[in-house]
């Protein structure tokens, strides 16, 4: 939280999008992502239509959270494609996390084409300090 008590200002410091590079010849999409925050965690909701849960890879190296999801070609058996607006490709997005995120407790769920990440905040450690009589 910032000095003036506004939790949204820390959002800018806690989560910064990083540009990613692609080495594959497939089309790449940046999933639209909404970011919410409360006292306990930061929540990311990323649109990833057509991505199956087993096609999502989320990695965390140092403070860089990388999301990669692959969309496989859709084909109806026994039919010939006449027209397509839906494109195959990869979804890629990266975020730099602050040290205020508990890396060991991050959770991810993909449901109905939306990837939901829960990034719990760390709790500041409190210690009681004994005072000795002089």
pTM beyond 0.85, yes or no: no
Determine whether 115 is exposed, middle or buried from the number of CB atoms within 10 Å of its CB (0-12, 13-18, 19+).
buried
Q: What is the mean pLDDT of residues 73-92?
A: 82
Tens digits of per-residue pLDDT, 84-111?
Answer: 777 778 999 999 998 889 999 999 999 9
Phi/psi of residue 52, nearest 5 degrees:
-90, 150
Tens digits of per-residue pLDDT, 104-128?
Answer: 999 999 999 999 999 999 887 767 7
Residue 46 has pLDDT above 70, yes or no: yes
Phi/psi of residue 16, nearest 5 degrees:
-125, 125
Residue 44 has pLDDT above 90, yes or no: yes
Give dist(CA 11, CA 8) in Å, integer: 5
Residue spans per domain, the chain: 7-74+81-120
CATH architecture group of domain 7-74+81-120: Sandwich (2.60)
């Amino acid at each position: 939280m910032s000095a003036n008590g506004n939790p949204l200002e820390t959002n800018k410091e806690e989560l910064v999008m990083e540009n990613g590079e692609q080495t594959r010849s497939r089309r790449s999409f940046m999933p639209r992502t909404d970011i919410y925050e409360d006292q306990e965690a930061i929540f990311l909701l990323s649109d990833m239509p057509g991505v199956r849960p087993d096609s999502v890879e989320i990695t965390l190296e140092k403070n860089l959270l990388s999301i990669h999801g692959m969309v496989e070609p859709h084909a109806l058996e026994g039919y010939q494609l006449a027209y397509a607006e839906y494109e195959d490709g990869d979804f890629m997005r990266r975020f730099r996390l602050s040290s205020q995120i508990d890396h060991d407790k991050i959770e991810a769920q993909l449901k109905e084409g939306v990837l939901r990440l829960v990034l719990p905040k760390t709790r500041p450690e409190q210690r009681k300090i004994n005072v000795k009589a002089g």
